[in-house]
Amino acid sequence: MGDMTVTTPPCVLTIAGSDSGGGAGIQADLKTMLALGVHGMSVIAAVTAQNSLGVQGYWELPAEAVRAQLDSVLGDIGAQAIKTGMLASPELVETVAVALGSYGAPVVVDPVGVSKHGDTLLVPEAVETLRTQLLPVATIVTPNLWEVEQLTSVKVEDERDLRRAADAVLALGPAWALIKGGHLPDEPVDLLTDGTSEYRFGAERLDNRHTHGTGCTLASAIASHLARGEDVPSAVEQAKAYVTGAIARGFPLGTGIGPVDHAWQWR
């Protein structure tokens, strides 16, 4: 190779569930990380059987398996940012919260509660553990409107409710909240705030039903940009641009809802 110097890219760890259909979860996370120029690593917390029609079943891993994966990756390689997704049970949420609480990297929490198809991916007891243990160690939490209601009981009916929802989420302890308004009746708008600064991100509503994996992809994109040294508002802005492009080019897969296109910038 001669005098070519090889530089290790920033490393990002995802702690989430596997999606056998490849559109969401760990698979979406790793594809997003590759697309955004970082080295993706994974701690698998649950295995799902799912396809374009929904989730047919899921099996969470034992807490010791999740803890061992965390120790392996963080103990040897380390991470410049960490993203959490589907954690299924109180025990797994607690295992992850304890590990991340003592680790210095920024943490993006995607509080996966309900899938696109309406499948519940978090048992009710785990919601409480998420609120009291994981959110306080989060740099940023990225709930959709259903997840906001699950976490805070605040129901968002229009854009005016976004700030109230964000404040209720911030009260649970994360440094930043990104309230995703994709399900608002009018134009979609996302609100990002740390309680002091406030940023709004609008996007045109794309006429494409193939949006499987949007939430996982956005959270992973934010983590990737944080690992590359961006501040939170800038990481969110760039992640939004990547996801918007991916949704615009979402493609049909199977007979249900297809995935966003993680490789849209290359195709």
pLDDT for residue 120:
60
Question: Does residue 232 surpass a pLDDT of 60?
Answer: yes
> pLDDT-derived band of residue 221, with 50, 70 and 90 as boundaries?
very high
Per-residue pLDDT, 13: 98
Q: Among the options 211, 217, 244, 250, which is catalytic?
A: 211
Whether residue 81 has pLDDT greater than 70: yes
Q: Does pLDDT of 252 surpass 60?
A: yes
- φ, ψ of residue 222 in degrees (nearest 5): -60, -45
Question: How many other C-beta atoms lie within 10 A of the C-beta of residue 206?
Answer: 15
Q: Out of 48, 139, 142, 216, pick the active-site residue.
A: 216
Mean confidence (pLDDT) of the chain: 92
Residue 124: pLDDT band (50, 70, 90) is confident
DSSP code of residue 208:
-
Catalytic site includes residue 25? no
Question: Does 11 qualify as catalytic in the annotation?
Answer: no
Could you read off the pLDDT of 195-218 as tens digits, one per residue?
Answer: 999 999 987 777 788 888 999 999
Hey, which residues does 58 pair with through a beta bridge?
48
Catalytic residue among 95, 180, 240, 250: 180
Q: What is the pLDDT of residue 116?
A: 53
Check whether 78 has a pLDDT greater than 60.
Answer: yes
Of 7-11, 77-81, 126-130, the one with minimum mean pLDDT is 126-130
Q: Is the dihedral of CA 138, 139, 143, 148 positive or negative?
A: positive
Enter the pTM of the model: 0.95
Whole-number Å distance between alpha carbons of 17 and 190? 25
**Region 138-159 average pLDDT:** 92
> Do 15 and 107 meet the contact criterion of CB atoms below 8 Å apart?
no
Annotation marks residue 216 as catalytic: yes
Q: What is the pLDDT of residue 184?
A: 79
Q: Which of 48, 95, 193, 214 is catalytic?
A: 214
Alpha-helical runs (H) found in the chain: 25-35, 63-72, 90-101, 124-129, 145-152, 162-170, 214-227, 232-248
Candidates 21, 113, 215, 250; catalytic one: 215
Catalytic residue among 181, 213, 250, 258: 213
In the residue annotation, 180 being an active-site residue is answered as yes
Across 154-165, average pLDDT: 91
What pLDDT is stored for residue 182 in this prediction?
77
In SS3 terms, 136-196 reads as HHCCEECCEHHHHHHHHCCCCCCHHHHHHHHHHHHCCCCCEEEEECCCCCCCCEEEEECCC
> Is residue 7 among the annotated active site residues?
no
Is residue 117 over pLDDT 60? Answer: no
23 is catalytic: no
